Structure 1
Amino acid sequence: MRHYLFLLCWLFPAVLHAQDTSSFPRWYGSLQYGRQNYQLFRPNNPEPWRTNQRRPQLALGYQFTPRWAVQAGWGPARYSGTNSAIGTNELGQPLTENSWGEDRSNVFSVSGRYTLPREVLKHLQFEIVGGPIVLTDHNWGETTHTENGQVTLYHKSDIRSVNVYALLGAGAVYSFGRHFQATADLTFNKNFKRTLDAYNVYTTGNRAGISRSVSLGVRYRFLYR
């Protein structure tokens, strides 16, 4: 993740140095935060998982006409947890189970954004957004069972996966001042990998396997006059 942050930090001043102060093209940066759902497949398992995580997203965009823009985004997420249980077997001997797990994922997106011509109220406009998404996931952990002080089961897992999605949705943008905009996105995504309708219903709530995400954020437009 540090490599991506370094790249963005290097790219911002390089881009701004090369940019003139004309109305277009226009560069912008945005930070969003929200709940993002994805249907996630892991290797050697036909049954998908559902990610339901809150994650930030950092994006760099380029508006090359008054209506059209393209942006690249990155959104990390991390989850970790532990579990412990104790009991006794039929002989009254103590049983224990201890486990821990961690999951780290990154969402990379490239999306086009089209601003609808009509302005609603004052400073409020709507956008159509769409493009591809790549989600990389790394999940690992350990589980240990003991019976009467002796280890009877030990399991270690380390799973990596890459999933690709198509995204389509809508956004609302409210401008306050020349540089800042408040943003809200409602998007829908579908994994390119096909699976059974029953799995789709279980993980996404619909037979088509479409997941929904909602995010709020702020956008800053550079060198805008």
Structure 2
Amino acid sequence: MKTALITGANRGIGYAIAKGLRPDHRVIIGARDPKAGRQAAQELDCDWVHLDLEDPDTFGPALTKANGIDVLVNNAGILIETSMMEYPQDFETSMQIMLHGPYHLIGACRAHMETRGWGRIVNVSSGWGAFSEGMEGPGAYGVAKAALNALTFALPRDLPDCIKINAMCPGWVHTRMGGASAPRTPEEGADTALWLARLPDDGPTGGFFRDRSPIPW
């Protein structure tokens, strides 16, 4: 059974991804709040680790406890709408959680995936970080997601063919971040991530998807 780690999976889209992978994976919820992580893991009958994307010191212990990740879903995100120029710390926080953290987790999981000869990395991005859709994300959100997209596009050149990495946009989802007016359920938002996490050996890599179809960067 393959082991899947989903960051920020104690609620929302991450929780739905964890639930969707649960039947055929050993699922590990990564949560910055131990109480929330423990509760979500109990509900889903899966494991959890303390993983705070703002605190790289939590990465090593979490991955040691996981003992090898086959599927990494970089789902954790933050929406800070302040001015990038007036609040530089908010910019740094956004980039740490949605770019630097995922990059370092990918690096830490790579060796196990290479040894196993199989790995899937799913970066949960957004149309708000797409140049094709006007980069409409507020504050540093769109910039961080655009950078995550660029990382997804470029990393295949430095990864073996057995590791597939893709980004996806879940759409406008009814979560704490998306708000009550959003038309999609977390389960609908999670569908493409679940598909990418289970890609066959001839599946795509270095792509950007919504509703299981390619979308422009």
Same fold (TM over 0.5): no
Question: Which has more helix, going by share of residues?
Answer: 2
Question: Which has more strand, going by share of residues?
Answer: 1
Bigger RCO of structures 1 and 2 (CA < 8 A, at least 6 apart): 1
**Greater Rg, structure 1 or structure 2?**
1
